[in-house]
Chain A
Amino acid sequence: MPDGAAPVLDVKDLKTVFRTRAGDIHAVNSVSFSLKPGELLGVVGESGSGKSVTMMSLLGLLPSPPAEVREGEVLLAGRDLLKATPEGLRKVRGREVGFVFQDPMTSLNPVFTVGFQIMEPLRKHMKMDRRRARARAVELLNLVGIPDAERRLKDFPHQFSGGMRQRVMIAIALACDPKVLIADEPTTALDVTIQAQILELVKELRQRLGMAIIWITHDLGVIAGIADRVLVMYGGQVVEHGPVREVFANPAHPYTRALLQTVPKLREPREAKLKVIEGQPPILGAHPSACPFRARCEFAFDRCHRQNPPRRDIGKGHDTACFWDHRTGAPV
């Protein structure tokens, strides 16, 4: 990961709001991050923390209404995607940014063959003719490790197993050599042994193709294994961000610290009782005027109820949105 390189993707102050009959839901609040060429950025958070909505907002994949991207900039190689026309966005999706979704059954079209679905972006974006697209599709299926690729092009999604379907999804996302690959919980629906296969495949593909990847998951273990940097989200905000080793070794935000303690480990001494994060995640009915984690935080003090902590730098490329200093154990 070259440090000084210009980011391929730069997101600044993104805000997404859902307008519902019951009022506005502020799903993404001032999220900023950048992605350098060839790096893997892990995004962790629980359901409702805004991680998927953030990524969907980047490419205009949310239905509007009810979704509304209120503010922010999404710079892909210097161009603001939020200002792009629908036509312009369509050229970006699948061409410059590939997307892999969580459930490979619902994101593949059951009435078209797998071959057709891999060839579609090649023919639309790359203007390939049928024969070249076909050759490339075979190449892609080989790349993602599907045996007997030539014949399997004629198969329909239901003829593949879950892990194989996810490989097909990855092949489609990689079809046009995108600069950025966004993978939204790509292994959550899979079994651990199949997940291990897919993770191995992604590690290998990264080395070979060198694209930048955003990997969304709720599994801290997956992040620890593959990510270079990690973004921890809670209540629609980035609460902690930094290089993966640094964040796991010195977690700064009380949420990250609690989360790391609440997950039982397989290879470390077993604890008699699990640590618990009491309470529920917040409902984001209004723009946050206080820390979203204050109700569940063991260190919360009066300032946390008055003000939403901004992200502050704590060195080594590590930042956190918290008024409490984990090193001194006192307010900053």
Chain B
Amino acid sequence: MFVILAVILVGASLMVVAQRNPVYSALFLILAFLGLAGQFVLLQAQIIAVLQVLVYAGAIMVLFLFVVMLLNVRDRQAPEAKLRWQKLFGLILTIILFGLVAVTVAGEVRLGPQGEFTPQRLAELGNAQVFGKLLFTDFLFLFEATSVLLLVAMIGAMVLARRRPLGASSPPPAASSRAD
């Protein structure tokens, strides 16, 4: 099961990079996120898998697809790449990076002290219950800070996506009847 989900995840991620059309890239990205959610279920993090599907594969990807459709980018090839060696160097650097990370990670991993939430304990308490209890007790301040972050991001996105810049003079009354 791990291997199947890993193949889905890696294959879909590769297709995201390889596809020429951004819409197909976005659809393959959804597939990759679903594969990742399956991995989370295997790791006994059910609430995380649900969040992954809802927020990533749902909300974020809908936003992506919406913008892709909104921009309606023509399939227009750039006349020539301005940086000729970009692709070659990019591939080489990626392979070097992967080699370094893999060598670091593939060896014997010495784990630190183990926490209290063994799989058995987690199974009887319930993953979502433990997650919620921790989030609203130990990590309450971070949770509230996150809400401020989301608010700022929301306001920022709306300000950036406005048609008229913020300090611009207000339009004449005839034009302002049209909803912005």
- Chain B associates with chain A: no
